[in-house]
Amino acid sequence: MSEPSPWRGDFPAVAALERQQQTYLDSAATSQKPQAMLDALTHYYAHGAANVHRAQHLPGALATQAFEECREKVAQWLHAGAPAQVIFTHGATSALNLLAYGLEHLIGNGDEIAVSALEHHANLLPWQQLALRRNARLVVLPADAQGRIDLNEAGALIGPRTRILAVTQLSNVLGTQQPLAPLLALARQHGALSVVDGAQGVVHGRQNVAALGCDFYVFSSHKLYGPDGVGVLYGRSEALGRLQHWQFGGEMVHLADYDQASFHPAPLGFEAGTPPIAGVIGLGATLDWLASLDTEAVLAHERALHQQLLRGLGDREGIRVLGAPDTALASFMVSDVHNADLAHLLTDQGIAVRVGHHCAMPLFKRLGLNGAIRVSLAMYNDSTDLQRFFEALDRALELLR
C-alpha cells in the first residue's frame, strides 16, 4: 500500500472531485492544478493584464518581465543553457507542428524521417504530412513486446538518409520509458536532428535536456500541473538556428514593409501573435511550486502507487495489461468483455479513466486491438483512489461476466 499523498491537499480540485464522487485516474490526459498555480493566475488577472513585448506602460513592462522570468524558470527546470532556447507555443502539438514546418526546408526527395511505432498522433502526423509534402519516407521503428523501441531494429533503420528522428520519452499508451540515450546517439552518428516528445515524460522526474543531448524537446504545461494552452519547445542553439519561420504576424517580425519583411531569431521569431501570457505565468508558478517539493519523494510515491496498480490488475483473472509499463500508467483489456461496456460501468461508478485508442490508432492497429482502458496516476492520487477503482472494476466485471 502506498502512503497517503502528502500533496493531495495542495490540489483543491481533488477535494472538489471527491465531493462529486469522482475518482480521477486520467492524469495522463490532463492533470489537476495546485493552489500555487491558481493563485498566480488570479494575481496576474487581478492586478492588471497587459500584452507583452510591446507596451511602454507599467502594466506592459510588468507583464513582460513576469513572462520573461518564466522563460528563465523553464530553462532552469529543463537544464537548458539559456532562456533564449525556450520557445513558448500553445501545446506539445503546436510545438511539434512548428518543428515539422520549421525543418521542412531540410527535407528532400527520398530523405527519411524516423518515428517509433508508439507515437501519439501529435508526434506522428506532423512528420507523416511533412514526408508527404517533400516526397520523403516515414520510417517507423518497431517496438518490442514490452513496449520499448527495439534498438537492433533502430540500428538497422536509422542511417545516412535519416534527417530527423522523432520519438516519445514515455509512451502514453504503454507507460514505458524509451531508451533515448542509444537512440539519440544513433541519430547523432548519422547527422540527423533529434526530437523528443516529452509530453508524458516531463511529468515524472526532473529532466536534463543538456545531458540527454537531444536537439529539440517538447512538452505541454497542462500535463505538468500547469495551465492548458501553453507548450514548450526547447532547442539546442545550433538546432534552433536551422529552423525556418513558420507562422507570421505581430511580434515575431523585425522589420516589415508591404512587399517584404525580416524576422527575429528564436525565441521571439517563433512566437507570432499574443502568446498565452497568463498561462506562461501560471506555468512559472507551477514550476516554482514543483521545485519546492522533494522530487525523490514524489517519484517514490508514484512508483509505489504504480506497483499497486499493476499488482491489482495482475491479480484479477482475464486482464491483459498492454506491454510492460514502468511508469505512472497502465492500459488493459479484459477477455470476453467489451472495453466500451466496462468503461461505461466504471464511469457510472464515478471512476474517471480513459477508454479508446489514446491518440495512437496505428499502434492499436499493430497490436491488433481496437482500444484499451487506461488508468493514469499523478502525485495527488493515493491508495484510496486505487481501492475505489478496483472495487468498481470488480463490480463491473461481476455484471459483465
Catalytically active residues are: 359
Q: Measured from the CB atom, is 25 or 337 closer to ligand PLP?
A: 25
Using CB under 6 A, which residues numbered 348 to 367 contact ligand PLP? 359
To the nearest whole angstrom, how small is the minimum distance from the Cβ of residue 99 to ligand PLP? 12
Residue 16 cell numbers, joined? 472538489
Q: Measured from the CB atom, is 123 or 327 closer to ligand PLP?
A: 123
Q: Judged by CB under 6 A, does residue 92 bind ligand PLP?
A: yes
The correct pick among 87, 122, 268, 346 for binding ligand PLP (CB under 6 A) is: 122
Q: Judged by CB under 6 A, does residue 200 bind ligand PLP?
A: yes
Cis preceding linkage at 275, omega within 30:
no
Q: Judged by CB under 6 A, does residue 93 bind ligand PLP?
A: yes
Q: Are strands 372-376 and 23-24 parallel, antiparallel or unpaired?
A: unpaired
Q: Measured from the CB atom, is 162 or 220 closer to ligand PLP?
A: 220
Using CB under 6 A, which residues numbered 228 to 247 contact ligand PLP? none
Q: Judged by CB under 6 A, does residue 89 bind ligand PLP?
A: no
Q: Measured from the CB atom, is 2 or 116 closer to ligand PLP?
A: 116
**Window 48-87: contact mask with ligand PLP (x via CB under 6 A):** ----------------------------------------
- For residue 94, give the nearest of 226, 355, 275 by alpha carbon: 275
Q: Judged by CB under 6 A, does residue 301 bind ligand PLP?
A: no
Provide the residue type at 140 as one letter.
V
Q: Judged by CB under 6 A, does residue 199 bind ligand PLP?
A: yes
Size of the site for ligand PLP (CB under 6 A): 13
Residue 174 cell numbers, joined? 504503454
Q: Judged by CB under 6 A, does residue 23 bind ligand PLP?
A: no
Q: Judged by CB under 6 A, does residue 168 bind ligand PLP?
A: yes
To the nearest whole angstrom, how small is the minimum distance from the Cβ of residue 168 to ligand PLP? 5
Residue 91 cell numbers, joined? 501545446
Q: Judged by CB under 6 A, does residue 91 bind ligand PLP?
A: yes
The correct pick among 172, 177, 376, 381 for binding ligand PLP (CB under 6 A) is: 172
Q: Judged by CB under 6 A, does residue 31 bind ligand PLP?
A: no
The correct pick among 120, 204, 245, 388 for binding ligand PLP (CB under 6 A) is: 120
How many angstroms separate the CA atoms of 249 and 266, rounded? 15
Task: Specify the stretch interacting with ligand PLP by CB under 6 A; choose among 16-24, 58-66, 80-88, 194-202.
Answer: 194-202
Task: Specify the stretch interacting with ligand PLP by CB under 6 A; choose among 45-53, 135-143, 196-204, 334-342.
Answer: 196-204
Three state DSSP letters for 59-115: HHHHHHHHHHHHHHHHHHHHCCCCHHHEEEECCHHHHHHHHHHHCHHHCCCCCEEEE
How many angstroms separate the CA atoms of 111 and 157, rounded? 13
Q: Judged by CB under 6 A, does residue 10 bind ligand PLP?
A: no
Q: Judged by CB under 6 A, does residue 175 bind ligand PLP?
A: no
To the nearest whole angstrom, how small is the minimum distance from the Cβ of residue 383 to ligand PLP? 25
Q: What is the dihedral of CA 345, 170, 99, 140, to 10 degrees?
A: -90
Q: Judged by CB under 6 A, does residue 194 bind ligand PLP?
A: no
Q: Judged by CB under 6 A, does residue 32 bind ligand PLP?
A: no
Task: Specify the stretch interacting with ligand PLP by CB under 6 A; choose among 117-125, 235-243, 320-328, 379-387.
Answer: 117-125
Give the footprint of ligand PLP on this chain (CB under 6 A). Answer: 91-93, 120, 122-123, 168, 172, 197, 199-200, 220, 359
